[in-house]
Structure 1
């Protein structure tokens, strides 16, 4: 059985559309789980933290590129990608800051890469049994060697009632659970112009800009079955222990936007509030050789002593909650559109995209 970091790292390489599977190094998940679900969760949480933040920040990006709402029945379809930039402070973490149990031993001053940290060997952790004897040791995984978290979006925006348009982000369930896992995206947004509410009458002459309020919600779900033949220590090999990874990332953003149409070019700026949260679990039954005395046969040797863990990793946390600012543009060339924007908040992000549409 590959170690938990192998599973979670592969999971998020798929979620983040990064082809990084070659960077995953094979180690035994039993090493990590032996110290207990609490330690396993803390290590996975710290290692994946910039992925959670970066993907959440990117997922909340690029819902709009103008304050001007589309007219009834007019639409555009866009394909775009956001890259959230991981700051240097989130590219590593210190093991001594995690509050790991006494069943782990490590250099308290050692730092180790996060997923989006340097591609160097991670810190060594030694695991102990109930009697304080060393059981095994392993190194935390390398980082990817780059600091941008990608987040792709496919979005359809349609004008509905006057001064209002709606946006939808959707993908059917993609992939196979027993291969690289299945992935599905669902999101919706709404934007409403308020220029005439703020300044009724001949507003275009008084205020030569468009003003709008916008809301967007995005959700990504992921699940992956772990192959039956990869049982821990080959114990219960062939049994279906329902081992799997399940994850859900969700977030919303609420923004005030101003823009000005200049022929085919429309610059915009906005400020708003966004949040993102993660629920991720390594679920099912896992059997690890621990040397613990809690076994059926008290006369068994250490090599035969196993401990069963159920749902050993469960991460539920809010990753981002705060203000963000955006500047960007849209460029209309007949049916074609070009988009670009820059966002700043807890992370920074850049977005670029293209699309096509009909009408204003």
Structure 2
């Protein structure tokens, strides 16, 4: 059975990395529970995680600015903020029958609809996996949702004024440990150029607002070493130690989530309060894979095993389209409060606080 690959362990660990909780434990009997082709494994994982990719990407592109006015030379602000992208009801579940699976099907009597990562946390569909003869070889339950419908995206950002009418923003989070075998880091860079002075009628009496163009790029990298290295530890229901017990198969998850946004901003300073509106275009993409060797039982015999390498790979564009926003900044001495609401493929709220020196 050349098409067989362990789906659930790889996808469940991917989901755990992203904050989801699987209803099936990733132990050495998973190979007996789940057997699906690479294509089916990727399709199911992709459909389950898509709202996370879209929501995180949209949020990652948010919060670059809270005013069209650029900072003067050497002036700066440092902010900590978080964006929550609202996952619409249509993306809180997906139709398994629409995926075009080759080696798996919904079990009779089960719903074709199952939760995504941001869907219901008390229901999930059972899938039957078929062998080459079309007979049921195994079955498994899809993971439940988290019960939350907001995709979070935190940011730490430093903005510094450079040459006249130009400031630069930098986002950076050094590697942070994930559990016992993983790490995550992120970085980004943005630039904002005030163009009010280049417009006809640049006098404040004619154009009493600030107008700017801005660009921002952000990237998040994740590496996670899977602790359960082998999937066939024993034979004959665990009575005989298997040859792969304790073997490191270099199983890991690698991911890169990136995106950029280009925006036009209009704002008006009113003493300590500055409201703004914006319109722009943004895009985000995801590259993620469950890599390494995965040993799968293909039958009842001791030697009925198959090694599958790099079973899941996803490379997709998550969002691409227009976005618009409205928000404000509030200056209280050296302290700053920020807020914004953005609409696009998803809608999102950003809130943050910071400190700053100068205008």
TM-score after normalising by structure 1: 0.90
Report the alpha carbon displacement of residue 34 of structure 1 after superposing the two structures with TM. Answer: 2.1
Give the CA deviation at 1:122: 1.0
CA contact (8 A) 1:112 1:123 kept: yes
> Does the CA-based 8 Å contact 2:119-2:147 persist in structure 1?
yes
Correspondence for 1:17:
none
State how far apart, in whole Å, the 1-side matches of 2:316 and 2:32 are: 25
Of 110, 113, 132, 2:115 maps to 113
Q: Is the 8 A contact 1:86 1:147 kept in 2?
A: yes
CA distance in 2, matches of 1:9, 1:39: 16
Say which SS state the counterpart of residue 353 (structure 2) adopts: strand
Aligned equivalent of 1:162, options 164, 168, 174? 164
In the other structure, the counterpart of 2:280 is: 272
Shift of residue 302 of structure 1?
Answer: 4.5
Q: Distance in 2 between matches of 1:112 and 1:104?
A: 13
Q: How far does residue 36 in structure 1 lie from its aligned partner after superposition?
A: 1.5
Structure 2 CA distance, aligned partners of 1:32 and 1:191? Answer: 53
- Is 1:91–2:97 an aligned residue pair? no
Q: Which moved more, 1:54-63 or 1:119-128?
A: 119-128
| Residue 89 to residue 180, structure 1, CA distance change in 2 (3 Å) | farther
Q: CA deviation at 1:136?
A: 1.5
Q: CA deviation at 1:264?
A: 0.1
Could you say what the CA RMSD is over the residues aligned between the two structures, in angstroms? 1.9
Give me the whole-angstrom Cα distance separating, in 1, the residues matched to 2:271 and 2:200.
23
Match of 1:298 in 2: none
* Residue 33 of structure 1, CA deviation: 6.0
Q: What residue is the counterpart of 2:3 in the other structure?
A: none
| Partner of residue 150, structure 1 | 152
Deviation of 1:104 (Å): 4.1
Deviations 1:255-294 (A, max 9, x none): 0000000000000000000000000000000011123xxx
The aligned counterpart of 1:16 is none
Contact persistence 2:287–2:313 (CA under 8 A): yes
SS in 2 for 1:232: coil
Instruction: Give the SS at the match of 1:143.
Output: coil
CA offsets per residue over residues 95-118 of structure 1, 9 Å max, x none?
101111145454596100000001
**Partners in 2 of 1:149 and 1:24 — Cα distance?**
21
Q: Is the contact made by 2:60 and 2:153 (CA closer than 8 Å) also made in structure 1?
A: yes
TM-score, normalised with respect to structure 2: 0.90
Q: Secondary structure at the match of 2:205?
A: helix
- Distance, in Å, in 2 between the alignment partners of 1:345 and 1:184 is 26
The DSSP-based 3-state class of the residue aligned with 2:250 is coil
1:315 aligns with 2:314: yes
Cα distance 1:262–1:31, how it changes in 2: closer, same or farther (>3 A)?
farther
| Deviation, structure 1 residue 134 | 2.1
Residue matched to 1:9: 15
| Distance in 2 of aligned mates of 1:259 and 1:6 | 45
The separation in 1 between residues aligned to 2:208 and 2:33, in whole angstroms, is: 60
Match of residue 294 from structure 1:
none
Q: Retained in 2: the 8 A contact 1:338–1:353?
A: yes
Query: For this pair of structures, how many residues does the alignment match?
Result: 341
Give the conservation status (yes or no) of the 8 Å contact 1:55–1:150.
yes
**2:239 maps to what in 1?**
none
Matches within 5 A, 1:169-208: 169-175=171-177, 179=180, 181-199=182-200, 203-208=203-208
> What residue number does 2:356 align with?
357
> Corresponding residue for 2:247?
239
- Relative distance call for 1:217 and 1:35 in structure 2 (3 A) is same
Number of the residue aligned with 2:225: 225
Q: How far off its partner does 1:128 sit? A: 2.1
